[in-house]
Amino acid sequence: MKTRQIGDVGENAVCDFLKNLSYTIVKRNYTIKGGEIDIIAEKDDFIAFVEVKTRVDNSLVSGFEAITKSKKARIIKTAQRYYINNCNKLQPRFDIAIVTTRGNSVVNIDYIENAYDISDMNIIF
């Protein structure tokens, strides 16, 4: 499978995972110049901006390692733009989903709510 196809498998699995937890998927692959958010989902009082990293089983680099400080900053700025453009009043939250695949199958999803915050950035929602 190609990288984009592997990513799609992971994103589809995370969307199904979130739906099973009663989230509403608002948007997928929200893109602006300089940033992208894989999944935007809502539940209760929160809007979750979800970064999905899909890795094949026994990958040398974990999905967590691939989410650098600069990647987080781009996600946060993109989320801020989405939040402003859509007049959202929900509490923003930044989640990470690490999907592990073997062949064409998903074997594990590690989902971390509120994986990082904006306290060290000069951004207001």
Domains and CATH numbers, the chain: 3-116 (3.40.1350.10)
For residue 7, name the pLDDT band (cuts at 50, 70, 90). Answer: confident
pLDDT tens for 15-57 read 999 999 999 999 999 999 999 999 999 999 999 999 999 988 8
What does residue 12 show for φ and ψ, rounded to 5 degrees? -60, -40
pLDDT tens for 94-123 read 999 999 998 878 999 999 999 988 776 666
